[in-house]
Amino acid sequence: MEQGGSQANSGFPSNFVNFLNFLGKNSLKIIGELGAVAIFFFYGFLFIFSLPFQFKKIVQQIYFIGVKSFLIISLIGLFTGMVLGLQGYYTLVKFGSEGMLGAAVALSLIRELGPVLTALMIIGRAGSSIAAEIGIMRISEQIDALDTMDINPMRYLVSPRIAASIIVFPMLTALFDVIGIIGGYLTGVVLLGVNSGIFFNRIYDSVVSKDVTGGFLKSLAFALIVSTICCYQGYFTHMRPGGFGAKGVSLATTSAVVISCVLVLVLDYVLTSFLL
Amino acid sequence: MAEPFIEFKKVSKSFGKLQVLDQVDLKIYEGEITAIIGKSGVGKSVLLKHIIGLLKPDSGKILIKGKPLDEFSKTELREFKRSLSYMFQQNALFDSLTVFENIALPLVERTNLTPTEIKKRVDFRIEQFELGEVADRYPSQISGGMQKRVALARALVTEPTMILFDEPTTGLDPLRKNAVLNMIAHYQSEIGFTGVMVSHDIPDVFFISNRVAIIENKKIPFQGTPLELEQSDNEVVWQFIHGQEVLQDQLTGLQPKKEVNALILEELSRVSQEKGRFTLILFTIDSLTQIKNQVGYIAAQRIFQCLAMGINMKLAGKGKAARFGLEDILVVLPGGSYSEAEGLINALLTDCSKQDVMNPEKYKKVCIDFSVKAGILEVKEKTDLESIIESARKAQKIIAKMECHRG
C-alpha cells in the first residue's frame, strides 16, 4: 500500500524509478572508480621522477614487458603484414591499382594496426602477469610488508611499470610496423609479383611524418592506459567484492585484460578522430 | 610507572558486522617485551596492525608516547614507521626476490649504504640465522621454518627500536622455536628494543616477556607481568597457563573442576534437606610430580590418564570425576553408598594392574616407585567442602603399588 502511495506521489511507475536507481548507482560507481584510477595513475606517474631514480627496476621491467615480448610482436607483425599484403592485393587488383599495395600496407600498419595490435599483444602477455603479480603480492601481505618497511608500494611496484611501458610501447609498435611492412613485401612482391621498386616508392610517397607521430602518440596513450589499469586491478585485488585469495587474483587478472582491451579500442577511435 | 610507549584507549574495530575489538585498553612500555596471547582468530594480529597503522580504529585512540597516532604529521609518521619492524604471521616475504635480496631490501630501499656495507650487514644476519645455504634461493624453495627465520632476519636487519612479532615461532620445530625465542630475548637485552609479540607458545613466551596481555572475547581481561599472571584468579588466565592440563583432562574425559564443585554443593544442600547421602572418593597418585620431573612428562601423564580413564569407564555416568590438584582425582557419586564406592575401586584395580604403566619392566632407565591411594567418604550431613576433602584424604589407603626391580 505504502509503495503504491509513493508511486502515486512521484507520479512515475516503479520500474522506471528502479531503472533510474540502477543507472544512478552504477554511474556513481563508475565515476568513483574512474577517479580512483586517475589518482592512482597520477601518483604512479609522479613517483617515476622521485629520487633516487629507480633505474635498475625500470630496466628490469623494460626487459620483462619489452624484450620478452620481442618475439611474439615480431611474429604477429609478420603475419599481419602478410595477410594485409594478400588482402590488399586482392582488392587493389580489382581496380587495377596493385601498385598502391605498399602504401596501403604501410599506412594501415603505421596509423592503425601497429599501435592497436601491439597494445593488445602486450596486454595479453605482460598486462595479465602484471595484474597477477601485484595481486598475489597484495593477498600475501607483501604490499603491507613494503608499507611497514616504509617503502612506498606505489613507487616500488607501479612507477617502474608505468615508466617501462612508456618506453617500450612505442618501440615495440615501431618494430611491429617494420616487420609488418616486410610481411606485406613478402606476400605482395615475392609471392604475387608486385614490382619491388613501386612497392617501396609508394610507401615513401604516401607516408608522411604526421602518420608516424599519430601512431607514436597512440602507442604512448595505450602504454599509460594499459600499465595503469593492469597495476590498478592487481593493487586493489583485496577490495574486490566476492573475490578473495586466488579467486580474487584471477578476477583481477581477467578484468585487467578485458578493461585494458576495451579501453585501447575505444581510445583508438577517439584518438583517430582527433588525429585525422 | 613510566608513561607507556604505546597506549590503546578504548579502541574498537569491526570488519563489517564482525566486531573484533571492543573498547580495548592496552599499555606497552618502552624497552620491554609485551606478549599478547589469545586463541586463534580473536584479533591479536588486528591489534598489532593498529600499532603500525595498517588498520585504523573505528573508535578510540592509539597514543604513541602520549600523542595520538592520527594526529601525527606525515614526517612524524614516516619516522615512527622507520623506527619499527613488523614480522608478519605469513612472513610476507617477497617471493620474486631471493633470500639475500629479501633481507637486503629495507637497506637497499631506505638507506644510503654502499652495496658492500649492505652485503656485510646482510651476510652477518644470514650467518646468524644459519641461512647461508639458502641465500640464493627463493622463498618458495625453502621450508616454512627457514622462511620464518628469513622474516626475522629481515625484521632485525634495520636495527629497529621496536619490533612487532606476529607469531614468530608458529610452525617451527621445538629446537628452532627455542632458538628463535632465545634470539629475541638476547637481542632485546642487547639492543633494548621494544617488542610486541603475538604468540601461542605458552609457557615459553612467558619466560622472555616482561608483560603479558590476554585477549579474549574482544577485550583484554588481563595485562600485567608474568608473575602477576600466575597469581591471577581470572578463569581465562587459568585456562591459558594450564593449557596442558586442560587438554589432558579433555583427553581423559574428566569434568572441569568447577562442575564437580557445583555437584558437591548441590548434593550437600540435598543431603541437608532430604536426609539422603552421597559418596565421594579421592584418588591420589603418590610421587606423580617426582615422576614428572625425573622419569618424564609422558610417563606421568600416562599414569594419570590410565587412572582417569579407568574411573570414567567404571563410573559409566553414575557420577562425575574431576582433576582436583596435580595428583588428585575427585569422584562424586550422587546418592551412592560406601559399598558402591568400594565396588568401583575393586573393579578399577583388576583393570589397572594389567596396564603398561604398572609394569616395572617398562621403566628401563629411570624408575620411581609410586602408589595409588583412595579415600572413601560417605556424606550424610551438611558440612563444608574443605572438611569433606580433608576427611576423604585422611581416609585414604593404598590400593595399588608399582615397585621397581632393584638390581
Domain match, B214 and B269 both: no
Does the distance separating the beta carbons of A148 and B52 come in below 8 Å?
A: yes
Q: How many domains does one find in chain B?
A: 2
**What does the pLDDT read at residue B245?**
64
ipTM of the complex: 0.76
Domain match, B71 and B128 both: yes
Order of all β-strands in the sheet with B219-224:
B84-87, B162-166, B194-199, B33-37, B211-216, B219-224
Is A141 an interface residue toward B (CB < 8 Å)?
yes
Average pLDDT over residues A189-217: 88
Domain match, B275 and B388 both: yes
Q: Is B354 helix (H, G, I), strand (E, B) or coil?
A: coil
Query: Which of B242, B263, B290 is the C-terminal boundary of a domain?
Result: B242
**What does the pLDDT read at residue A3?**
46
**What does the pLDDT read at residue A268?**
92
| Domain presence at residue B33 | yes
Can you say whether residue B171 is alpha, beta or left, with left for phi > 0 and alpha for psi between -120 and 50 degrees? Answer: left
Is the confidence at residue A6, as pLDDT, over 80? no
Domain match, B232 and B288 both: no
**What does the pLDDT read at residue A235?**
92
Domain match, B18 and B120 both: yes
Is the confidence at residue A12, as pLDDT, over 90? no
Does the distance separating the beta carbons of A133 and B96 come in below 8 Å?
A: yes
Q: How confident is the model at residue A5 (pLDDT cuts 50, 70, 90)?
A: very low
Is the confidence at residue B145, as pLDDT, over 90? no
Q: How confident is the model at residue B407 (pLDDT cuts 50, 70, 90)?
A: low
| Domain presence at residue B326 | yes
Domain limits for position B312: 246-402
Q: Are B214 and B206 in contact (CB under 8 A)?
A: no
Domain match, B337 and B389 both: yes
| Domain presence at residue B193 | yes
Is the confidence at residue A7, as pLDDT, over 80? no
Q: Which of A142, A147, A150 sits opposite B94 (nearest CB)?
A: A142
Q: What's the one-letter identity of residue A243?
A: G
Is A239 an interface residue toward B (CB < 8 Å)?
no
Q: How confident is the model at residue B39 (pLDDT cuts 50, 70, 90)?
A: confident
Domain match, B186 and B88 both: yes
Q: Are A82 and A135 in contact (CB under 8 A)?
A: no
| Domain presence at residue B313 | yes
With vertex at residue B199, the alpha carbon angle to CA B193 and CA B203, rounded to the nearest 5 degrees, is 100
Is the confidence at residue B347, as pLDDT, over 90? no
| Domain presence at residue B322 | yes
Name the minimum distance, in Å, from the CA of A125 to any CA of chain B: 18
Query: Which of B207, B242, B277 is the C-terminal boundary of a domain?
Result: B242
Is the confidence at residue A1, as pLDDT, over 50? no
Between chain A and chain B, the number of residue pairs with CB atoms below 8 A apart is 43
Is the confidence at residue A80, as pLDDT, over 90? yes
Domain match, B37 and B114 both: yes
Domain match, B225 and B297 both: no
Q: Which of A116, A109, A232 is nearest to A169 (CA)?
A: A116
Q: Where are the domains of chain A?
A: 54-275
Q: How confident is the model at residue A260 (pLDDT cuts 50, 70, 90)?
A: very high
Query: Which of B222, B242, B262 is the C-terminal boundary of a domain?
Result: B242
| Domain presence at residue B295 | yes
Percent of chain B at pLDDT exceeding 70:
96
Per-residue pLDDT reduced to its tens digit, B100-131: 999 998 888 888 888 899 999 899 888 888 88
H or E segment and range at residue B379:
strand B370-379
User: Which residues of chain B make contact with A245, given a CB cutoff of 8 A?
Assistant: none
Chain B residue closest in CA terms to A140: B92
**Residue predicted with more confidence, B249 or B154:** B154
Is B72 an interface residue toward A (CB < 8 Å)?
no
Domain match, B179 and B318 both: no
Is A147 an interface residue toward B (CB < 8 Å)?
yes
Does the distance separating the beta carbons of B92 and A144 come in below 8 Å?
A: yes
The full 3-state SS of A84-103, as one line of letters, equals: HHHHHHHHHHHCCCHHHHHH
**What does the pLDDT read at residue B247?**
64
Domain match, B208 and B285 both: no
| Domain presence at residue B1 | no
Q: Are B262 and B332 in contact (CB under 8 A)?
A: no
| Domain presence at residue B186 | yes
Is A136 an interface residue toward B (CB < 8 Å)?
yes
Give B316: exposed, middle or buried? Use CB within 10 Å, 0-12, 13-18, 19+: exposed
Q: Which of A149, A141, A270 is nearest to B156 (CA)?
A: A149
Whole-number Å distance between alpha carbons of A110 and A211 = 7
Whole-number Å distance between alpha carbons of B374 and B401 = 12
CATH number at residue B225: 3.40.50.300
Average pLDDT over residues A211-231: 92
Whole-number Å distance between alpha carbons of A64 and A66 = 6
Is A33 an interface residue toward B (CB < 8 Å)?
no
Domain match, B230 and B315 both: no
Whole-number Å distance between alpha carbons of B187 and B192 = 7
Is A256 an interface residue toward B (CB < 8 Å)?
no
Terminal-residue alpha carbon distance, chain A: 59
**Residue predicted with more confidence, B401 or B57:** B57
Whole-number Å distance between alpha carbons of A253 and B272 = 75
